[in-house]
Structures are given as structure tokens and as C-alpha cells.
């Protein structure tokens, strides 16, 4: 085996990685289940390469090169995502709002290729009986749906019913009842 063959293997692994990323991103978040797109690609590709090495269909050295390229792509993705949020949005996507203030959002559902029944099923899975209880329902990068209930639909917290817990909350939050800025999970900077 010569260096040219190893470089060709590395180039093929990189090209397949990019093609799979494009296809999975085009298919939408529902396709990846509870994986981020990159994680799914890495799992699929590594599984296939390891299978080929074990059964002898691909030489050990060539398989190792492919594994290193795939691992390097994953490490590069993680570093770029940490370095700048724009890369994360480009490579993994952005959260999509599918319910706002108790109303299904057609634009968000269309972007995620979801029908209203799909959204309702996801809400039911989180114990929501009435879509009007939802302030925001968001399809996250990994395809899961996060729900923020409207104030009137929230279950009372211990701090609201127990004076000792209320004091502990006051100390932990510096006396501020509602989160502000980056403390809020519904802040657009996190979406």
C-alpha cells in the first residue's frame, strides 16, 4: 500500500462525511432523532469502517486513516462550534419554534417538515394536555422538542409553597425572581 492510496482513502472519507452532512441537514432534524447531525454521521461512518476492517474488506492501515479523518472532522466541528456560534448554526442548524403562546407555528412546522399532529404528539410526550399551556415549543438541533409552559400552566415550585425554599431561592438568585439576560433559556442568543 502506498501513500497515494492512503491519501485517496482520506479524501474519500472526508468527501463522504461532507455529503452525509449535507443530506442529513437537508432531511431535517427529525431524521437524526436525538443526535446532532455530526454525531449521527460519525456513528454511522465509524460503524461502517470498523465493520469493513474487522471482516478484512478494507486493510487495517486504510481503515485507520478513514477513522482518523472522521474523528478529525468531529473534533474540528466541536472546536469550530465552540469557537464561534455561527459555525454551529451552519453545521448543526438552529432551534425552530413550532408553538408560540399556545398557537402552532406553520412556518416553523414547515421548516421542520412536521405536521400539527407530530407537534401535538411531542407535547403529549411531555405531559402537555392542551397546546394553550405552551409559551414556546422548540425543535432543538438534535430533533428533540423543548417546552416552556405559560406561567399559568406551570406546576408550582417548592419555592412558591415552602418558605424555607423561598429563602434559599432568594439567596441563590440574589433576590431576583425572574431570570434576566443570559440566564433565560428563552433568550434569542441561545437559539
Q: What is the pLDDT of residues 103-114, one digit of tens each?
A: 999 999 999 889
What would the mean pLDDT of 73-95 be, rounded to a whole number?
A: 79
Per-residue pLDDT at 36 exceeds 60: yes
Q: Give the pLDDT score at 27.
A: 63
Q: Read off the C-alpha cell for 85.
A: 456560534
Question: What is the model's pTM?
Answer: 0.61
List residues bridging with 147 in a β-sheet.
Answer: 137
Separation CA 12–CA 21 (nearest Å): 14
Cell digits for 165?
Answer: 425554599
Shortest CA distance to 137 belongs to which of 159, 116, 152? 116
Quick: pLDDT tens for 134-151: 999 999 877 889 999 998
Amino acid at each position: 500500500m502506498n501513500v497515494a492510496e492512503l491519501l485517496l482513502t482520506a479524501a474519500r472519507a472526508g468527501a463522504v462525511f461532507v455529503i452525509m452532512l449535507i443530506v442529513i441537514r437537508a432531511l431535517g432534524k427529525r431524521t437524526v432523532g436525538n443526535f446532532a447531525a455530526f454525531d449521527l454521521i460519525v456513528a454511522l461512518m465509524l460503524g461502517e469502517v470498523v465493520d469493513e476492517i474487522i471482516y478484512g474488506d478494507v486493510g487495517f492501515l486504510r481503515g485507520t486513516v478513514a477513522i482518523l479523518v472522521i474523528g478529525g472532522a468531529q473534533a474540528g466541528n466541536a472546536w469550530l462550534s465552540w469557537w464561534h456560534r455561527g459555525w454551529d448554526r451552519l453545521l448543526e442548524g438552529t432551534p425552530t419554534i413550532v408553538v408560540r403562546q399556545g398557537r402552532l407555528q406553520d412556518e416553523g412546522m414547515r421548516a421542520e417538515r412536521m405536521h400539527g399532529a407530530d407537534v401535538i404528539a411531542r407535547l403529549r410526550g411531555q405531559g402537555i394536555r392542551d397546546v394553550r399551556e405552551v409559551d414556546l415549543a422548540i425543535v432543538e438541533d438534535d430533533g428533540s422538542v423543548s417546552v416552556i409552559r405559560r406561567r399559568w400552566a406551570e406546576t408550582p415550585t417548592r419555592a412558591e409553597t415552602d418558605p424555607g425554599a423561598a429563602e434559599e431561592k432568594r439567596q441563590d438568585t440574589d433576590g431576583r425572581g425572574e431570570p434576566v439576560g443570559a440566564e433565560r433559556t428563552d433568550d434569542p442568543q441561545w437559539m
